[in-house]
């Protein structure tokens, strides 16, 4: 009976998010550089301007933006074969570690200097350094970010994703990446572009420019998957830092369990299941439908976040996060190039 009541309570909010998510998903497939999540956020913000009374939708919107977002991260784990990452992704590990460090450090310094809200700074830094929207989805519940903070961070990440997908192939040609191999540009795209759709767009463009088949794309996707694993230690660290802060502020004492991201353990468990299954002969393509569900859940959650976001206030307060996003994005690109040069990859 309680479950039926919960379903009824959440149904209106989930339904309105679904009505936004389905066309956003289709449009995102047709225009991958834009991506379904961003289309859903923008559509949600525009629709919110037409809704006078949001109270009947609130429970479902909250459920979608919080719980379904976590389910999306868990299902994302089914797309990670740890053996493939260990075999071919380790070459890029020093570059990944340095780019993540550079982005998080840049976000921390600018947050202090420019007095940007800490939660937005964390989301922009994590999103820039790891895997865009997926990393933001994982970090947001850990730091208790609200929907407007999530929307702000996603918007910043999206803006520089589009720029990267457009200019990086020409930048790679300009600085002299090998045109007979996809390795150098694949590593660059996999470490310096943060969202999977933009990584795919940039790498595929390089393959097309120099008739490399899917060399660049295969390398870039493997590097990108290796980066995705950084979600685990980063969210754990954020949970520990938040618990420490709450322990200082609250006489009730230290409690890591209150903010511990248990869904990240399920994400890791999903990765282990995929790894074992593939090792026993199950084709990796068998997990593709689960990955698609994960992508749809993210779009669904972004629709809810868009509806809960004040678009006017988002535009008015977006200047400083945009500057931070640019600093993180350009810093990651520079560090990736420097590390590749040091390691003799190009």
Residue with tokens 């006489």: 251
pLDDT value at position 342?
A: 93
pLDDT value at position 253?
A: 53
pLDDT value at position 161?
A: 84
Q: Structure tokens of 217?
A: 């794309």
pLDDT confidence of 251, banded at 50, 70, 90? very low
Residue range 100-134, pLDDT digits in tens: 999 999 999 999 999 999 999 999 999 999 888 88
* Residue pair 233/227 in contact by the 8 Å Cβ criterion: no
CA distances to 8, 95, 121, 188, 293 from 337, rounded to whole Å, are 53, 9, 24, 7, 34
CA distances to 111, 133, 165, 191, 212 from 194, rounded to whole Å, are 20, 9, 10, 7, 23
Domain count for the chain: 1
pLDDT value at position 256?
A: 60
- The domain in which residue 151 lies consists of 2-342
CA distances to 25, 62, 234, 298, 335 from 67, rounded to whole Å, are 19, 8, 20, 11, 35
pLDDT value at position 169?
A: 92
CA separation for the pair 266, 329 (Å, rounded): 30
* pLDDT at residue 257 is higher than 70: no
pLDDT value at position 112?
A: 94
Mean pLDDT for all residues in the chain: 87
What pTM was computed for the model? 0.82
pLDDT confidence of 194, banded at 50, 70, 90? confident
Could you write out the three-class secondary structure of 250-289? CCCCCCHHHCCCHHHHHHHHHHHHHHHHHHCCCCHHHHHH
Least confident of 132-136, 186-190, 205-209: 132-136
Residue range 6-51, pLDDT digits in tens: 677 889 999 999 999 999 999 988 887 677 888 898 899 899 888 8
């Amino acid at each position: 009976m309680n479950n039926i009541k919960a379903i009824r309570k959440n149904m209106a909010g989930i339904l309105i998010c679904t009505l936004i998510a389905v066309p956003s998903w289709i449009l995102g497939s047709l225009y991958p550089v834009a991506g379904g999540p961003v289309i859903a956020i923008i559509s949600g913000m525009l629709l919110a301007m037409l809704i006078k009374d949001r109270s009947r939708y609130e429970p479902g919107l909250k459920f979608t933006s919080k719980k379904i977002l976590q389910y999306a991260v868990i299902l994302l784990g089914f797309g990670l074969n740890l053996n493939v990452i260990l075999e071919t992704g380790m070459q890029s590990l020093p570059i990944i570690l340095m780019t993540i460090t550079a982005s998080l450090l840049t976000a921390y310094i600018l947050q202090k200097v420019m007095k940007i809200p800490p939660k937005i700074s964390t989301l922009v830094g994590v999103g820039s350094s790891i895997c865009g929207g997926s990393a933001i989805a994982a970090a947001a519940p850990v730091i208790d970010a609200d929907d407007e903070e999530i929307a702000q961070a996603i918007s910043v990440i999206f803006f520089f994703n589009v720029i990267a997908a457009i200019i990086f192939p020409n930048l790679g040609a300009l600085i002299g990446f090998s045109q007979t191999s996809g390795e150098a540009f694949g590593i660059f795209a996999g470490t310096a572009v943060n969202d999977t759709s933009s990584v795919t767009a940039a790498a595929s463009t390089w393959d097309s420019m120099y008739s490399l088949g899917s060399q660049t794309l295969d390398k870039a996707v493997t590097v990108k998957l290796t980066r995705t694993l950084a979600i685990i230690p980063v969210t754990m660290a954020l949970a520990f830092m938040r618990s420490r802060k709450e322990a200082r502020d609250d006489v009730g004492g230290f409690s890591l369990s209150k903010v511990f991201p248990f869904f990240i353990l399920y994400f890791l468990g999903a990765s282990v299941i995929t790894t074992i299954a593939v090792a026993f002969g199950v084709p990796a393509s068998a997990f593709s439908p689960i990955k698609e569900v994960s992508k749809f859940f993210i779009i669904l959650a972004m629709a809810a976040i868009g509806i809960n976001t004040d678009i006017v206030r988002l535009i008015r307060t977006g200047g400083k996060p945009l500057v931070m996003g640019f600093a993180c994005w350009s810093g990651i690109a520079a560090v990736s190039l420097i590390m590749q040069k040091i390691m003799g990859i190009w």
